[in-house]
Structure 1
Amino acid sequence: MSCPALIDFEASCLPEYGQSYPIEVAIARIDGESRAWLIRPLEAWRHWDWSEEAEKLHGISREMLRKEGLPAAQVLKEMARFVGDCEVYADADLDAYWLELLAHGLKAPVPFAVHFLGEYLVRHNFTRPQVVAALEEAKLRLPKEHLAREDAKRLALVVKLLLEGEKAS
C-alpha cells in the first residue's frame, strides 16, 4: 500500500445552505487504488436539508441513495480498512467535518484523522508552480469534478505527480 490517501465527500447540500449530511465518500491512495461509497442516510438525517443545486452538480439523487447507498456503519468500517496505516488528507476542512458527522451519527469514534493537504505540500517543500503544474496535469487526465470518486483520484494523482517530480530532480 502506498500512502498517503486522499479523501473527498459529497453532501446533501453545502453547510451554508442548510443542515447537510454526507452522501458519498471516496478515498484514493497514490498507488492508484481507490474506493467510493454511496452512503444511505441515517434516520437522524431524514429531515435535514437537500439541495437540488447540489444534486445537479454531483448527480446523486435521494432515490439513488435509497437504492444503492450502503449502511453508514458499513461505509465507516470499510473506509477504515481501506485507509489502513495511511495518513489521510483533504483539500477542504469540510471533508473532516463530514467524516466526524458520519461517525457521530453512528455513535462511533472517528476512525482516522483528516489533515489539510496544504500541510503535506508545505512539509514536502513543494512550490506553488509545482503544485499548479501537477494540478493542471491531473485535471487533464481526470477532468470530471464534483464527484467524490473522481475528486479523490485527482488529488491523489496531484500528490503522485509531485512526488515523482521530486524524485526526478
Structure 2
Amino acid sequence: MAQHDPALIDFEASCLPEYGQSYPIEVAVARIDGESRSWLIKPPPRWQTWDWSEEAESLHGISRAMLACDGLPPAQVFAEMVAFVGTCEVYSDADLDGFWLEVLCEELDEKLPFPIRFLGEWMAARGLTREQVDAALEEARRRLPKAHHAREDAKRLALVVRLLIEEQPA
C-alpha cells in the first residue's frame, strides 16, 4: 500500500442528529488494497442516556444488546482504528462521518486523528466524469449490494476508488 493511499470510513449511529442526540455505534475503515476492519462501539455511560432510533436500528441491524455484549470500549476502537488507517488519507461520502468521529474524540478527550475528506473532492481532483463515477458505483453496488452496514459501505466505497484508479492511465 502506497503512503497516503485513500481509505474510506463509514459510521453507523444510534440515530440521525436531526432525530436527537446521536452517538456512533459502529465504525469501519476500508483501504483500497482490499483490507477492511470494523468495530462495534460499546456506549460509555454518558451516551446511554442519549437518543436511540428504532428506524436506524432496523436499517443497520445493530441493537443496544449487541453493543452491550459485543461492543468494544471507545478508547480501544479509537486506537485500533487510528493504527489501521496509518498514513492513508481518509475519505467519506457523508459529512456525518466527520461528526461521529468528533463525538468519539470528544468522549475520549482526544484530538481528531485525521481529517475526513469528502470523496467527491478526490474524484474532482482527478478530473473524473460523472459517467466514470456512475459506472464505478454501479459495478461496486453489483459486487457489494449490502447497504447500511459500516464495513460493507466502506468496502463498497473503497472498491469504487480502486475501480476509478484502475481505469485511469498510469
TM over 0.5: yes
User: Residue 114 of structure 1: which of 116, 141, 146 is its match?
Assistant: 116
* Alignment match, 1:151: 153
Cα distance in structure 2, aligned partners of 1:151 and 1:40? 21
Q: Which amino acid aligns with 1:132?
A: D
- Per the alignment, residue 33 of structure 1 pairs with 35
Letter in 1 for 2:20: G
Aligned residue in 2 for 1:12? 14
Q: TM-score, normalised by structure 2?
A: 0.97
Report the residue type matching 1:61 in the other structure: S
Partner deviation per Cα, 1:109-147 (whole Å, 9 max, x = no partner): 111110010110000111100000000000000000000
Residue number in structure 1 paired with 2:141: 139
- Which 5+ residue runs of structure 1 have no aligned equivalent? none
Matched AA of 1:98:
W
In structure 2, which of residues 38, 56, 74 is the aligned counterpart of residue 72 of structure 1? 74
Query: Percent identity among equivalent residues?
Result: 68
1:50 pairs, out of 44, 49, 52, with 52
Kindly provide the amino acid, as one letter, of the partner of residue 50 in structure 2: W
CA-based RMSD of the aligned residues comes to 0.9
For each residue in 1:76-124, what CA deviation from the matched residue of structure 2 results, as whole angstroms up to 9, or x when unmatched?
0001100001100000000011001100111111111100101100001
Please tell me the residue identity of whatever aligns with 1:87.
E
Give unmatched runs, 5+ long, in structure 2.
none
For residue 21 of structure 1, what is the aligned residue in structure 2? 23
TM-superposed CA distance for 1:19, in Å, is 0.6
- Give how far 1:163 is off: 0.5
Q: Which amino acid aligns with 1:60?
A: I
Q: Normalised by the size of structure 1, how large is the TM-score?
A: 0.97
Q: CA deviation at 1:167?
A: 2.9
